[in-house]
Structure 1
Amino acid sequence: MKLLKRVLLLLVLVLGVVIYLNYPKLNIISGYAAKNVASGVYVAHRSAASMNQYDNSAPLVELAVTEVDESNESASSTVYGLMKRTAVYRDGLGAVLVNDDYNPDKMTLRPKRIQPLDTIPYPFGQAAPIDTILPEVDMGQINKALALAFSEPEIQKTRTLLILYKGHLIAEKYINGFDKDTPILGWSMTKSVMATLYGILERQGKLEMDWPAPIAEWKDDERKDITLNHLLRMQSGLAWEEDYTGISDVTRMLFLDSDMTLAQRNKKAIAKPTEIWNYSSGTSNLLSGILRQQFRSHQEYLDFPYSSLLDKIGMYSMVLEADIAGNYVGSSYSWATTRDWARFGQLYLDKGMWNGEQLFNPEWVDYITTPTLHSNGTYGAHFWLNAEWIYPDVPKDLFSCNGFEGQYVFVIPSKDLVVVRTGLAEDPYFNINEVLSTIVNAVP
């Protein structure tokens, strides 16, 4: 009996230590689950059951129990009944995790959308794509690529794949539950959208990349030499921990902060600009905050991404989600259909030209695809590169928007190709090189 009591006491002590060590993580886990479900249900119009079964099935996140309150357009999550977190939906601004700073009465502004109908075929308009047979395209290879991308659904977890060649839709495929009208969370592909807004402002003559970052707190210390270029290239030298496996700078920002533009802004320098390359979602949200400073009013800031870019190229499905302070979460939170993500890639393939209008300078593409020092040729300016042949069987000029769990918009100028792939797994579970090389071999 004494031995049993000792064993039980030991088990209680071990359980107590486990709870003590992991309790702070529960805040992050339940926050992730609630935010994900709220956005999936009210932005992507998917069922809560589907979001819980698939999108929240990641390790630790699967411990959360999430319920939707349709009357309040919200979702709440707990882990073992602890750490309840709630995310609410706001029309036009997406879902946000609430805390003591949240006041719905202060969140009355919404972005104004301009979405005219047209008769131009996709991808340059809203009409159905032209059913064109391009004799130079080897459709056998294209079909092989589609089969490869979906061949192991439990491992690859591919959801959608779409291919544009010379501005023509030549193939697309969707798993059950997804179609051409289903918005997909881009995660860090949002960073490339944020960078593009800077390219547009540059063309408008409103800023230049070598300008010092307009942050008053930096003017009298070692951070005063940080430029917009350094921020876009993730080489500011500021401290940042991008670790999603525990409590880190990025998880605190995304799941605890009310104003996500401050997380990187308040970090100290650990190196001089250009001395190191350090991938940082905080930097992208800092850039969102700097973008907001360029406008006289909050309304102008909210409207700008849509009026100057997204609605301009027909990405009507896209929703940029905002934090409690009303800043776009430029690091992570944008939703758009696979077809609309492909429009974004086509804009870059055409060097900023859209239906006769130049949205950003053609040289902007050269800028964002110039490898950043110390990134080993993998990173430009908020875009990923193949400059050192990470994908050895794919042209070196490939550049891409990359997002968590394998969201990709690939642009291959030498082949006139745009390829969009979305899913819940990335390399090595989804073999990018194999699928892309098969597509590349299908065209001259």
Structure 2
Amino acid sequence: MKLFKRILLLLLIGVAILLYLNYSKLNIISGYASKYMASGVFLAGRSEASLVQNDTNMPLVKLAESEVNQDDKYASASVYGLMNRKAIYREGLGAVLVNGGDEKDLFRLTPNRIQPRDTIPYPYGQGEPKDSLFPEIDYDRLNKAVGLAFENLEVQKTRTVLILYKGHLIAERYLDGFTKDTPILGWSMTKSILGTLYGILEHQGKLEMEWPAPIPEWKQDERKDITLNHLLRMQSGLEWDEDYTKISDVTRMLFLEDDMSWSQKEKDLIAPPTEIWNYSSGTTNLLSGILRQQFRSHQDYLDFPYKELIDKIGMYSMVLEADVKGNYVLSSYAWASTRDWARFGQLYLDKGSWGGKQLFDSAWVDYITEPTPDSEEKYGAHFWLNAGGKYPDVPGDLFSCNGFQGQHVFMIPSKSMVIVRTGLAEEPDFDANRFLSEVTKSVR
């Protein structure tokens, strides 16, 4: 009995020390758990048990205990009863963390969506994919390459893989519990959606990339020289700390602020525009706020991504989540099925053309794939690049949408391929170079 009491005491002391060292992070931990749980259950249709066992089973976050209210559509979480956070699901806008304000004041407008059904084969329509065989493809090698992504699942944690070749579905595989219709959180793949919206507005003649950012507070200081191009390339020179391991600019924005679109607006310059490259989710949400300024009403802003991009190319499963004030959180919170993420990649392989209409200028692809100075040729304009050889055994023209925990839409023009991989682990646990190399080598 004495030994048991000593062990229990040691465990309690350990928990107390852990809580003391991480107390300032509890808001973030319980915020992450409740937000992910609300989105996972009400948007993605996942079970609470699966989310706890897999998605929130990660360092520190797994300390949180979550509860889901099915009737009122919200989730709450706390860490040993401390720092309780609540996330409410709003139809059409996804889940949002309540940050202490009156829940009655939550933004409630919803985007209008037009989703006609057709029989055109996937990926260009809603019909079933064509059965296609290409003589230049070694299908045995292709299937083995797909299998690589699902080896050692406890480490690689791949959930879905899909491959398009010349606009045809040639491979698709899902982990148990996931299907072609399961929405997957893209995390920072969402940034590429934001970038594309700017490409669409440019094509429509409504803005230009060299325009100064339309922020009145910047007009009287050195920030007046920051352009939309600087922001899209993450080279504005604005201060920003993108560190998810502590209370930082990005964690405060995502888990503590009501209006994420202006989180970086008050930041000072740490260098003149173009002199440094600094990856920033705050920059993307700032661009979301600037996007809002392009429309007469908030309803027009909400409708625009669906009307001009998402529903236009049939990504009907995609939902963009919004903050408390109704601004799209385009740094991180787009959900879509694996098939719909692949549609987005195909749009880029087709240089912005869809159904005989040009959504953005073909030159936009050249723009977003031009390496940004000081990014080691790994970043363009809200898209990642292989120009610098990040994946040494893969064609250098690869460009991609990348997200936390290894969410990827890879586009390889020289191979006419779109490759989607989603999961809960990234490099080095998931060997993207090996996987991509084997997939591309399956095409002779």
Q: TM-score, normalised by structure 1?
A: 0.96
Greater shift in the superposed pair: 154-163 or 131-140: 131-140
* Cα distance in 1, alignment partners of residues 45 and 316 from structure 2: 15
Aligned position for 1:279: 279
Equivalence map 1:82-161=2 (5 Å): 82-104=82-104, 106-161=106-161
Aligned position for 1:3: none
Q: Percent identity?
A: 69
> What is the Cα deviation at residue 147 of structure 1?
1.1
User: Per-residue displacement from partner, 1:323-380 (whole Å, max 9, x unpaired)?
Assistant: 0010000100010000000000000000000010100000000000000010000000
User: Per-residue displacement from partner, 1:217-240 (whole Å, max 9, x unpaired)?
Assistant: 100111110000000000000000
Aligned position for 2:402: 402
Paired residues, number: 437
* Cα distance in 2, alignment partners of residues 208 and 151 from structure 1: 46
Tell me, yes or no, if the aligned pair for 1:34 and 1:76 is still in contact at 8 Å: yes
Structure 1: 4+ residue segments shifted above 4 A: 8-18
1:164 aligns to what SS in structure 2?
A: strand
Cα 1:41–1:12 shift into 2, 3 Å: closer
User: Per-residue displacement from partner, 1:51-104 (whole Å, max 9, x unpaired)?
Assistant: 111000110000000010111100000101110001010000000001233544
* Cα distance in 1, alignment partners of residues 143 and 129 from structure 2: 19
User: Per-residue displacement from partner, 1:245-293 (whole Å, max 9, x unpaired)?
Assistant: 1111100100000000111111111000001000000000000000000
What amino acid maps onto 2:256 in structure 1?
A: L
> What is the Cα deviation at residue 15 of structure 1?
7.2
Tell me, yes or no, if the aligned pair for 1:101 and 1:324 is still in contact at 8 Å: no
Greater shift in the superposed pair: 129-138 or 312-321: 129-138
Aligned position for 2:194: 194
1:79 is aligned to 2:79:
yes
> What is the Cα deviation at residue 216 of structure 1?
0.5
Cα 1:111–1:9 shift into 2, 3 Å: closer
Aligned position for 1:266: 266
Q: TM-score, normalised by structure 2?
A: 0.96
2:260 aligns to what SS in structure 1?
A: coil
1:143 aligns to what SS in structure 2?
A: helix
Tell me, yes or no, if the aligned pair for 2:90 and 2:108 is still in contact at 8 Å: no
Equivalence map 1:351-390=2 (5 Å): 351-390=351-390
Tell me, yes or no, if the aligned pair for 2:34 and 2:66 is still in contact at 8 Å: yes
Tell me, yes or no, if the aligned pair for 1:102 and 1:324 is still in contact at 8 Å: no
Cα 1:405–1:12 shift into 2, 3 Å: closer
Aligned position for 2:419: 419
Equivalence map 1:235-250=2 (5 Å): 235-250=235-250
Cα 1:14–1:65 shift into 2, 3 Å: closer
Cα 1:9–1:130 shift into 2, 3 Å: closer
1:188 aligns to what SS in structure 2?
A: helix
Cα 1:365–1:19 shift into 2, 3 Å: same
1:265 aligns to what SS in structure 2?
A: coil
* Cα distance in 2, alignment partners of residues 109 and 26 from structure 1: 31
* Cα distance in 2, alignment partners of residues 377 and 404 from structure 1: 20
Aligned position for 1:4: none
Cα 1:183–1:15 shift into 2, 3 Å: closer
Aligned position for 2:5: none
Aligned position for 1:52: 52
What amino acid maps onto 1:131 in structure 2?
A: D
* Cα distance in 2, alignment partners of residues 11 and 50 from structure 1: 27
* Cα distance in 2, alignment partners of residues 98 and 285 from structure 1: 19
* Cα distance in 2, alignment partners of residues 296 and 63 from structure 1: 44
CA RMSD of aligned residues (A): 1.6
Aligned position for 1:5: none
> What is the Cα deviation at residue 388 of structure 1?
1.0
* Cα distance in 1, alignment partners of residues 268 and 77 from structure 2: 34
What amino acid maps onto 1:160 in structure 2?
A: T
Cα 1:247–1:133 shift into 2, 3 Å: same
User: Per-residue displacement from partner, 1:278-319 (whole Å, max 9, x unpaired)?
Assistant: 000000000000000000000000000000000000000000
User: Per-residue displacement from partner, 1:23-75 (whole Å, max 9, x unpaired)?
Assistant: 12000000000000100001100001111110001100000000101111000
What amino acid maps onto 2:126 in structure 1?
A: Q
> What is the Cα deviation at residue 133 of structure 1?
1.3
